[in-house]
Chains A and B, each alone.
Chain A
C-alpha cells in the first residue's frame, strides 16, 4: 500500500444524527462535540466525513478543485442518485459550466446595481414598521417582520406577479429540506413537491416577470448571449429558491439576537450605521444556513484523514462560525466584534451571490426599527422550525417599546 494511505489518520467516529429534530432545533451541543473530536469526524450513520472546525470548513469551501458541488450539495450524490429537480446552475454546478450563470447573476446583484433599490426598501421597511406599531406593541416578530418584510421587498425586486407569492416560503423550505437525508421532514413536504415546482417554474418564464426586475435582467443577459435561453429560467429559479427563506431566517436571527441582548439594541440605536455589520454578526451567531455538502473529486486528505474520491463531506457552517479557535467568546452576539470572514454565506466560488441583497434588506428593516423602537423583549418562548439545512423559526413572540 502507499505511503499516503499508511500515514492517513483514522478519524474519530460519531453515530450522532445531525438531522434529528432535537439537533436541528438546538445544534450547538453537537457542534461543540464534533469540533472537539477532531478536524475531521466520520459520521457512521450517513457514511460521510464531516468538518466542524473553522479552518477545515473554510479550506474546503474555497477548494472547488477537490470538493465539487456538481454532484449535489446535499447528502444525495448526483453521480448515483437522481436529483429531485433539475440541478441548480449555480449552487449545484462547477467550473466551467458554473462560470456564465455566476457572472451574470453576480453583476445583477452587485452592490452598485442595488443602489437603485436602497431608497425604496427603506421606505417599505418604514411603512411596515409604522403599520405594525399602529396595531399594537405585542406581536410575532417572525411573521410580522422577518417574514413580512422580505416578502414585500424581494418578490417585487425579482419582478414576480402578485399571485401565488405564498408559495415562495414553502418551496424554499422544501428545497432546503431536500439537502438532508430522506427523513420525516422530506416526507412531510412530498405531497406539495409537484404543485410548488409547477408554480415556481412558471414564475421563471420571461412572460411571468415584470420588465424592470432581476428576472428581466437575467433574460436580457440571455438575449445578449451571456447565458443561453435554456439557462435563464433556471437562474431565475435560483433567486426564488435561495433568496427568500434564507433572508427571512437571517432577519429572525437579528430580532432574536436583539430581543435577548438589549444592550446591543441600544448600541445599534446609537449607531444605526452598524446595521449591516449587525446582520452579519447575527448570521455568524445563528448561521441560518447550517450545513452544505461537497463531493471529493479525487482521493484527498484533510488534516491527515483520507477522504476517498466520490464520497461526500459535510461542512458545518454553524459550527465553524462558533469555533473558539477562530472567534473570541464565540457564543456571544456582540456588535463590537468584527464578524468579517464568517462562513454563514459560504466562501469562495459559491459564496452566497445574494448576500448584498440580504444585507440591504437587513439594513432597511433594522434601521427602520431602530428609529421607532426603544426596546424589544421576548414575551414567550420562541419556537424553532426544524429544517434539514436551515436554522429556521416558527414564532418569535415579542413586545416592543415604541420611542
Chain B
C-alpha cells in the first residue's frame, strides 16, 4: 500500500550499553571522479540521531583515523546517514570538514579498503554551519564543498525561498551530485567546471550587496578567502562559511581503555571501548541523570576536574569544549589515560 510505513517499535534510539555510535557501511558508490558516497546505518536498524542541514559527523575508521564529513543525505530518512568522501592526496585541501593534513590516510582508506558491511565509529552530528531563515539565499560550493549545501538547497526549496547555487569544480566529471542537482532544480543551479568556463565569477555574483540575501559558502580555502573579500561590503552576518578546520579535532580517539576517577566517592573505574563513560560511572555507583543518551539533550552534564575529554556531543560550542571543565558522559570519552570527574 502506497504511503503506509511501519514504525519500528522499540528501536527508537541507540540502546544502552552500545558504544553510542558504531554504524555499518550499508552502501558505497562512486558519485564522481575521485568521490565515493557512503551510506551508514545502525547495526540493529535503530533510528539515528536527528540532524539539520550543515551538520557533520566524526567518522572513526577501523585503522584509527578520525575525519569529519558533512551529512548530505535526507533527514526525513531517520535510519541512514549519507556522506561523500573525496580521495585526497596528502596536504591538499579537501572535503570541507576533513583534516587530511598528515597523510591523506582517511580518504585513501575509505576509497581503497572500506567495504559495505564494515563497521565505523561515528560521533555527532554537530552543526556549526546552520541554515538561518531568509527569503533569499546564494549558495557557493567549491568541489566537495557541495556536500553541506546539498541538504541546504533542498531545504531552501521546501521553504519556498528564492535561491541560486553557484557550483565550481575542476572538471565536470569531478563534480559530485551535479546531475542530481540540475535535474531537480534546473536553472537555480549554475555548474561551472574550471576547465570549460574558468573560475567562478564572484564579482558578478557578489559585487552588489543585497541585504535580503544570505550567502553560504563551502569549499577550499582560496575560494572562502575570495568570497569573503567579495562580500566585504555586505552587511554583517550576511555571509556564512564552513571552514576547512585541519587539526580542530586533532584529539586522538582512543580505542584503548582509560581510567575515570570519581573524586567525591573516591572510586576509580576503567572504561573499556565497549561501554560509555556514563555506563561505567553508573556501575561504580555514581548517580548521573541522563535522558537522550545521544549527546544532544545536555542532561548528563558532568563537571570535569582533571584530564581532557574527547567531546563527542552536539551541545557544547567550541570554546566550551576547549575549557575542558565539563562533559557529557553519555557519548564523550577521554583523550588521555585518565579523567577526574566531580562525581
Contact = CB atoms under 8 A, between A and B. Distances in A.
Residue of B1, B53, B133, B237 with most chain A CB atoms under a 10 A cut-off:
B133
B13 interface: yes
B12 A345 contact: no
B315 interface: yes
Contact of A62 (B13, B75, B298, B320): B13
Contacts of B10: 55, 59
B183 interface: no
A336 to B, nearest CB: 9
Contact of A340 (B13, B131, B289): B289
A29 interface: no
Contacts of B1: 2-5, 299
B4 interface: yes
B184 interface: no
Contacts of A274: 287
Interface string A338-352: 111100010111010
A56 interface: yes
A226 interface: yes
B26 interface: no
A100 interface: yes
A60 B133 contact: no
Nearest to B282: A338
A41 to B, nearest CB: 16
A36 interface: no
A56 B12 CA distance: 10
Given A59-B12, A348-B50, A309 B3 contact: yes
Contacts, number: 125
B326 interface: yes
B291 A62 contact: no
A117 to B, nearest CB: 14
A95 B75 contact: yes
Contacts of A345: 291
Residue of B4, B75, B132, B297 with most chain A CB atoms under a 10 A cut-off:
B4
Nearest to A66: B7
A306 B4 contact: yes
Nearest to A303: B9
Interface in A337-379: 338-341, 345, 347-349, 351, 355-356
Given A55-B10, A277-B289, A338-B287, A226 B297 contact: no
Contact of B130 (A103, A341, A349): A103
A63 B79 CA distance: 11
Given A96-B155, A225-B237, A340-B290, A4 B316 contact: no
A20 to B, nearest CB: 30
Interface residues of B, number: 46
B52 A55 contact: no
A254 to B, nearest CB: 14
A65 interface: yes
Contact of B3 (A95, A225, A299, A302): A299
Q: Using C-beta atoms within 8 Å of the partner chain, give the interface range for chain A.
A: 35 or more
Contacts of B204: none
B7 A301 contact: yes
A99 B78 contact: no
A341 B238 contact: no
A340 B9 CA distance: 20
B256 interface: no
A96 B127 CA distance: 14
A65 B155 contact: no
Contacts of A309: 3
A224 interface: yes
Nearest to B288: A340
Interface in A36-72: 39, 55-56, 58-60, 62-66
Interface string A4-19: 1100000000000000
Nearest to A277: B289
A107 B282 CA distance: 28
Interface in B1-47: 1, 3-10, 12-13, 47
Interface string A307-351: 001000000000000000000000000000011110001011101
Given A3-B1, A97-B159, A351-B291, A65 B76 contact: yes
B237 A224 contact: yes
Residue of B7, B293, B301 with most chain A CB atoms under a 10 A cut-off:
B7
A302 B4 CA distance: 11
A227 interface: yes
B136 to A, nearest CB: 12
A300 B5 CA distance: 5
Nearest to B6: A301
Contacts of A276: 289
Interface in A217-255: 224-228, 231
Contacts of B78: 63, 65
Contacts of A299: 1, 3-5
A254 B5 CA distance: 41
B233 to A, nearest CB: 17
B214 interface: yes
Contacts of B7: 59-60, 63, 66, 300-302
B292 to A, nearest CB: 7
A280 interface: yes
A201 interface: no
Contacts of B53: 96, 99
A111 interface: yes
B158 A59 contact: no
Contacts of B289: 276-277, 280, 338-340
A300 B76 contact: no
Given A277-B287, A299-B1, A347 B292 contact: yes
Nearest to B289: A277
Interface string B52-67: 1100000000000000
13 contacts: A4-B1, A59-B7, A62-B12, A63-B47, A64-B50, A65-B78, A96-B53, A112-B301, A226-B130, A298-B5, A306-B4, A347-B291, A348-B50
Among all A-B residue pairs, the 6 with the closest Cβ atoms: A2-B1, A225-B237, A111-B301, A4-B1, A340-B290, A299-B4
